[in-house]
Amino acid sequence: MPKPIDLTGRRFGRLTVLRKEGPGACWQQQWRCLCDCGREVVVFRSNLASGHTRSCGCLRSERMRELHNPQEI
């Protein structure tokens, strides 16, 4: 069985990995991450590696705000 990769300290988008958490659903690896906005979230390793999760949700909120309230030039 291969040794699991330590993601501590690595960045994925706006998330910085703090530490490994207990196993999640179907024994998937979970990691506690700190977002640039200051919130902590627990994310599956597969979502970090695939790029599916890049923030705590603040990125999506910012993009939605930009779409619905475009700045006038």
- Is residue 64 assigned to a domain? yes
Tell me whether residue 40 is in a domain.
yes
* Residues 43 and 53: beta-carbon distance below 8 Å: yes
pTM: 0.80
- Quick check: is 1 in a domain? no
Give CA 2 to chain center in angstroms. Answer: 24
Instruction: Count structural domains, the chain.
Output: 1
Residue with tokens 């979970």: 30
Give 28-64 pLDDT, tens digit per residue: 899 999 999 999 999 999 999 999 999 999 988 888 8
Range of the domain at 19: 11-68
